A and B are shown apart, each in its own frame.
Chain A
Amino acid sequence: EVKFVQSGSELRRPGESLKISCETSGYNFPNYWIVWVRQMPGKGLEWMGIIYPGDSDVRYSPSFAGQVTMSADRSISTAFLQWESLEASDTAIYYCARARSSFGFYFDFWGQGTVVTVSS
C-alpha cells in the first residue's frame, strides 16, 4: 500500500527557518517524482515544484524558485521542503504527492498536508 505521511503543523516567526517532511512507503521511492503544492488560506492549489529522488533533479515553478528548497533522502524514502527565512505570506497548507509521468505529470497519491503558520 502506497502511503504519504507528512510532518505535523508548524508555528514559526517571520525570519525563522523551517524544514517539513513527506515520508513515503509502499513503492520504489527513487523512481517517481515528488511534487509540492501550496494552498494559502481561502485560495486554490499552486504547483511549487517537483523533485526526482533518483538523482535529486529539481524543477521549480518560477513563482517559487529561490524561495524554497526541495530535497530528498533515498535512504529513508522521504522528501523535504525547506525555507531559510519565512515570511507571513508563507502561511499555508503544503501538500506532497507522488507524480506519475506520461510526459506530463499527474499526482496519484497525496500526503495529508502540513499546516505552516508564520506569525509574530
Chain B
Amino acid sequence: QSPLTQPASVSGSPGQSITISCTGTSSDVGAYNYVSWYQHHPDRAPKLILYDISQRPSGVSDRFSGSKSGNTASLTISGLQPEDESDYYCCSYAGGSTEVFGTGTKVTV
C-alpha cells in the first residue's frame, strides 16, 4: 500500500479559503467513500475533523468541509484562522479492513 499523495504545504491568509488534495488510486480513495481527515499539531494527539468524506464529528467547526471526485478527496478550510496552522492528514479505506494515510500537508496561516 502506497501512501496517498498530498501537497507538502499549503498556505493562506486569515479569512481566506484553502483546499488540500488527497490523491489515491482506484483501490482506495476511488473505490470507497471512506476518507477521513486529521489535524495534527506537533507533540499532540491527532484530531479527527472529517469522516466518510464530508461528515463532521460533534464539536468540529463547519469551516472544515470535504469532497471527493474520482481518486482524489479534498479538504477545504474556509475562513482560515491562525489556530488552523497545523499538519493535516487524509486516510482512506483500502479494503480488507486496512487503511492508508496520506503523506501529510503543512498548513501555514
Where the two chains meet, the residues of A that have a C-beta atom closer than 8 Å to any C-beta of B are 4, 35, 37, 44-47, 49-50, 59, 61-63, 95, 97, 100, 102-108, 110-113
A-B contact pairs, 13 of them (CB 8 A): A47-B98, A59-B96, A61-B1, A97-B45, A102-B34, A102-B52, A103-B93, A104-B33, A104-B36, A104-B93, A106-B51, A107-B91, A108-B57
B103 located at the interface, meaning its Cβ lies under 8 Å from any Cβ of chain A in the complex: yes
A105 x B101 contact (CB < 8 A): no
A-B contact count (CB 8 A): 82
CA distance in complex: A28, B96 (Å): 24
Question: Which residue of chain A lies nearest to B37 when distances are taken between CB atoms in the complex?
Answer: A106
CA distance in complex: A48, B45 (Å): 16
User: Nearest chain A CB to B98's CB is how many angstroms away?
Assistant: 6
CA distance in complex: A49, B1 (Å): 12
| Residues on B with beta carbons closer than 8 Å to the beta carbon of A49 | 98
A44 x B32 contact (CB < 8 A): no
